[in-house]
Structures are given as structure tokens and as C-alpha cells.
Chains A and B, each alone.
Chain A
């Protein structure tokens, strides 16, 4: 930005006057009350809307006799010529020159809109302009006297940190919302008091099954209860028959594993009997042989006895046949007969023994035959019972199927056990009771499941909000770190620049400057020792502060000019020369506007554009 002209209308002590400003150094030279500071104020006011002296009402800058005052500034920025007017009544107008005519670009009375326009178009901000471009009378002492918090605020404004702090504050507000939400979710979690054990599910299933039976039974009862009752009774009868027959069937197989085992035994016995079929004949033959032998023995005994009687009688002749008795021959015959008789006895004994054996065998066979008959009878009984059972079972199955179709289960599966005997009223009462119980359990289950779902959602929400809180904590910490980094990134070059100017002006010896420790206030270390700014001389403070301003202008940006209001005030001759040198060096890069009423300065700045002021002006 290159200043070209200051235009004043009923502003301060000026009624209507323009002041041309040139490139390089512009010296506004005049005595006290000639309006030098008013010109400085006019530039500052036009650009910022505020008086350069803090806490002064803008309206006070107008001509006391006028209703309002207007300050204007003609300048070149970005290759274009602009004319900016600002009235003490807050109206702001920006014009740009187009083909020797002025087009109005902006005309507004809103402060914010004007600030935004100036910042966007020309990068002008109040604090930045005050600190990097203007040096007003007594400013350095005010700056030094400022509280640390105030300087920190200025620093934050300059670096845009105030915006970051505002963002952080928003994150903190957001964290409060998240905390509230977390509290709400925790209270909700506590209110759920969930019991994870599912105690109702099994009971519900049981009651549903029972209710189904009862309802089916109730339906059957209401249709043809008499028939069903008869069927049930018949079914019970049949079942009893089956039970009895099964018992008898089991008795028939008593002692055997199964019917096959019984059949196998029968076959074995039959085979044994077949093997002993000729026992009777053999025994008969033995009996006959025994009888014959006994007869022969008896006959032989009779012969022997007769012959012995004859021998013992002494008769010479046989009384039967009257033949002569030959005793020796008769004796020999007796002996032979005795011998024969003995043989027959032996044979008889053998036969008797055989007969005894055969008799026993026969008895055994007969026992087997009896056993066979018994087993065959049992097999027949088994077969018969099996057939009977099958027949009854078929009928029972058909009946059970019919009953099942009517909802009547087997007696043993019927939980109540009295379905068929329940009358309709009892059934209805039971059904109602079970339904109520079921409804209650289902309601409890629904509530439990609802609570479970709600708790799962609440847990999920709690985890999510926990993450959000962590995110916000990170967001705030990130801003703190960003502020630190920004300060380092911006203030470090400012410190280097300040060093550069301090060295250039040869103000002190070996100097180290820290702008971060005291929030922008330079902390000096001269020749290795900390040096309080308060202990510097007035001129040292002035030069240091000017160097600081230039350093900040370098780093933060500057409109391209400096306005120094009476910078040599209270400086001795040597320091005035130094200041003039400083201004000349500054003018090599910047447009400089200086006010003074010091002839040494006027002499020192010879060649500068001179704006002479008088009290009459």
C-alpha cells in the first residue's frame, strides 16, 4: 500500500484540506497544535475506524464546530488506486479509480462489514496496524506498562491465536454437551438394571405346550365329548389287554431269551427224541429174552431138582418111564444142567442190566417228549399272543390316531393326567389360568428383551460418547499444541529480525531476545545477563521498541509504510542522529511518514517530502 493523499473534512482542527504523501520519507514538520498528530490520527482512523489513542471516542475527532468529520486516504494497493473515506458517524466508502473516475466499491455503516472488507481487500487489522505500522507518542511506555494478559491478548490477535482460542472454547462447550450426554446415558444404563439370566423361556415353552393340550382337549370336549370318552375308555381297555397279553407272551418265553431261542430248544429236543425212537422195541426184546431166560432157568431148576430127587431117592427105576436109573449119567446131566442154568443166569443178569439202562433211556426220552410238548405248547401260546397283540395293537393305533386327531395325547404324555375327566368348566378355568400366566411371563420376557436391547444400545452409545469425549480432548490439546507451534513459527523469525535490527543499530553488545517468554514483550539478555527493559534508558527503550515494531512488520506483514509520531522526542543529539539513520534505513524498504518539530531531524532528513504545518492551519 502506497499512501498518496490525506483528505480531511471537518476533521480535528482541519475544515477541508488535503495533504499529499510521497514515496520514501515524508516529514510532517510543525509546532505543537499545528495538527501533526491529527494527520497521523487521520490515517489510522481511516484505516481502522478507531482513534490511534486508545479509549477515545471516534466522534471526538471531528471538528468541534461540525456535526461530523470525515477523514480520507488515497492510496495505491495491488496496482490500483483507491480512495477510502471514513466518517466519525461510522459511514465508510471505498472508491477505486477507473479511467479517471471514481467508482464506489463499498458504502456501509456497519463496523463488522467494513472490517471484513478492509481485511479481505488490504489485509488491514486494527491491532496489527497499531503494532507494526504506527508509532504514536508515549506508546512504548503504555506497551511496557501493559499487563501480561493484555500483551498475550495482543499477541494472540496478531498471530490469529485468538481465533484458535475461540475454536478451543467451542470445543470445550462441545465437551460439556458430550459430558451431559454421557451422564444421561449412564443414568439410563443404571435405570435398566438388567438381569441377564433368562428364567422365563423354559417356563413359557412348558406352559405353551400345556396350553396347547388343554385348548385341544377343550376343543374336543366341546365337539363330541361322549364319543371321545368312549374312545379313551376303549383305548384304555385295549391297552390293558395288550399289557396282559404281553405279560403272557413274556411268560411263554420264560427261561428263554426270545422265541428263536425257544425254537432252537424245541429242535434240539426233537432231534434227541428221534435218535431214541427204537428204545421200546429193544426193551421189549430184552424183556422177552429175560422171560425166556427165566423160563429156561426155571425149567433147568425143575430138571435139576427132579434128577436130584431121583438120585437121592435111591430108586433103581424111573417112576415115570420105569427106565433104569443110571446115577452117574444123571449126575452128569445134573451138572450140565446146573452149568447151563448158571450160564442162563449170567445172561439174565446182563439182560436185566441192559433192560434197566434201556428203561432209563426210555424214561428220559419220555421226559423229553413231555418237555417237548410243554415247549411246543409255550411256542404255540407265544405265537398266539403275538398274533393277538398285533391285532389289538393295530386297533389301538387306529384309536390313538383318532384321539390324537382330536388333540388327546397318550395318558402318560398328558401333564395334567385328568384331561378326559375334566369337565368343560374346569378346562376353561385351567386354560384361562395358564393363559394369564403365559401372558404375564411373555410380558416379563418382552420387558426383559426390551431392556436388553435398550442396554445394548445404551452401552453402544456410552462407548461412542466416550470416543467423542476423547476426540474433543484431543481436539483441545491439538489447539494448545498448534498455538505453541504457531508462536514458535512466527515469533522465532521475529526474534531473528529484531536481532538483525539491534545489531544494525549497534544498540547493545551481545544480545539475545526472547519474544515468547513474556508474551511479545522482548526479554533481553545482554552480554549473557538478563536485562530488564525497565532499566534501559528512554532512548534505548525507544530504539528497541522501533526495532521490535519493524521486526513484527517483517514477520506479520505491514501495509508497506510506517507512521512515526515524533520519534526523536526526549532524544539527545547523538541519538537523534541514530534515529535519523534508522528512518533512512527504514525508508529503503518502506514508505515512512514522520512527524517532528525538531530542526535536527529536518536537517537529518533533508530531501524528504516536507509537509509544513502551522498553527493557523
Chain B
């Protein structure tokens, strides 16, 4: 995936999760911090490849809101 498609994909992803939060009541408890952590985890995995990114790293990213 080239960088432009990667960036486009990331933008689409951010838009999609924002739309899901607005549409689905069950996601209302999630705030901007969680949204940012999800997007960061997505970007981190997309750019580094799933082979290099362990599930525990993603858990820490989202659960602890750590930086990637």
C-alpha cells in the first residue's frame, strides 16, 4: 500500500469511526481520547505491519492510552 493510499485509508477510517460513534448509541460513552487512541493504534499497525505489532502493544495503546 503506497503512502497516499495509506493516508487516504487512515482518513477514511477516522471518518468511519466518528460516524459509528454518532450513529450507534452504545459507543456514546467513548470520548475523543478513546477515538484518538483507536486511530493511533490503527495507524501504528497499518504502517508497521501486523507482523511487527503484537496484540499486547495494541492493548496497551488503547487501554492505557499510551503513545505508539
Residues of chain A having any CB pair with chain B under 8 Å: 119, 123, 160, 163-164, 166-167, 169-171, 173-174, 176-178, 181, 464-465, 467-468, 470-472, 474-475, 477-479, 481-482, 485-486, 489
A475 CA / B41 CA spacing, docked (Å) = 9
- State the Cβ distance, B42 to closest chain A Cβ, in Å: 6
A-contacting residues, B1-54, CB 8 Å: 1-2, 5-6, 9, 12-13, 16-17, 19-21, 26-27, 29-30, 34, 37-38, 41-42, 45-46, 49-50, 53
Contact A482 B13 (CB under 8 A): yes
* Interface residue count on the B side (C-beta < 8 Å): 32
Contact A467 B29 (CB under 8 A): yes
The verdict on B66 contacting chain A, using a C-beta distance below 8 Å, is no
Contact B53 A486 (CB under 8 A): no
Contact B55 A170 (CB under 8 A): yes
Contact A167 B20 (CB under 8 A): no
- State the Cβ distance, A173 to closest chain B Cβ, in Å: 4
Closest to A461 in B: B63
Contact B59 A474 (CB under 8 A): no
Residues from chain A with a CB closer than 8 A to the CB of B5 are: 160
Contact A486 B12 (CB under 8 A): yes
Residues from chain A with a CB closer than 8 A to the CB of B30 are: 467, 470-471, 474
Contact B45 A170 (CB under 8 A): yes
Contact B20 A474 (CB under 8 A): yes
Contact B9 A173 (CB under 8 A): no
Residues from chain B with a CB closer than 8 A to the CB of A475 are: 17, 38, 41-42, 62
A177 CA / B55 CA spacing, docked (Å) = 8
Taking each of B13, B30, B37, which has the highest tally of chain A beta carbons within 10 Å of its own beta carbon?
A: B13
Residues from chain A with a CB closer than 8 A to the CB of B50 are: 163, 166-167, 169-170
A470 CA / B38 CA spacing, docked (Å) = 11
- State the Cβ distance, A6 to closest chain B Cβ, in Å: 26
Q: Report the 8 A-B pairs with minimum CB-CB distance, sorted nearest first.
A: A160-B1, A173-B55, A478-B17, A166-B50, A481-B16, A174-B58, A468-B63, A174-B55
18 contacts between A and B (CB under 8 A): A164-B46, A166-B45, A170-B45, A170-B58, A171-B41, A173-B55, A174-B55, A174-B58, A177-B59, A468-B62, A468-B63, A471-B38, A474-B38, A477-B20, A478-B16, A482-B13, A482-B16, A485-B16
A481 CA / B17 CA spacing, docked (Å) = 8
- State the Cβ distance, B23 to closest chain A Cβ, in Å: 10
Residues from chain B with a CB closer than 8 A to the CB of A468 are: 59, 62-63
Contact B59 A481 (CB under 8 A): no
Q: A167 and B19 in contact (CB under 8 A), knowing A176-B55, A482-B9? A: no
Residues from chain A with a CB closer than 8 A to the CB of B58 are: 170-171, 173-174
Contact of A470 among B2, B27, B55 (CB under 8 A): B27
Q: A472 and B45 in contact (CB under 8 A), knowing A160-B9, A177-B56, A467-B34? A: no
A166 CA / B54 CA spacing, docked (Å) = 12
A485 CA / B9 CA spacing, docked (Å) = 9
Given A173-B58, A475-B38, A478-B38; 9 other pairs, CB 8 A cutoff? A163-B49, A167-B45, A170-B55, A465-B63, A470-B27, A470-B34, A472-B62, A477-B20, A489-B12
A213 CA / B6 CA spacing, docked (Å) = 78
- State the Cβ distance, A476 to closest chain B Cβ, in Å: 10
Contact A164 B9 (CB under 8 A): yes
- State the Cβ distance, B32 to closest chain A Cβ, in Å: 12
Residues from chain A with a CB closer than 8 A to the CB of B63 are: 178, 181, 464-465, 468
A471 CA / B1 CA spacing, docked (Å) = 25
- State the Cβ distance, A560 to closest chain B Cβ, in Å: 16
- State the Cβ distance, B3 to closest chain A Cβ, in Å: 9
Residues from chain B with a CB closer than 8 A to the CB of A173 are: 55, 58
Closest to B6 in A: A160
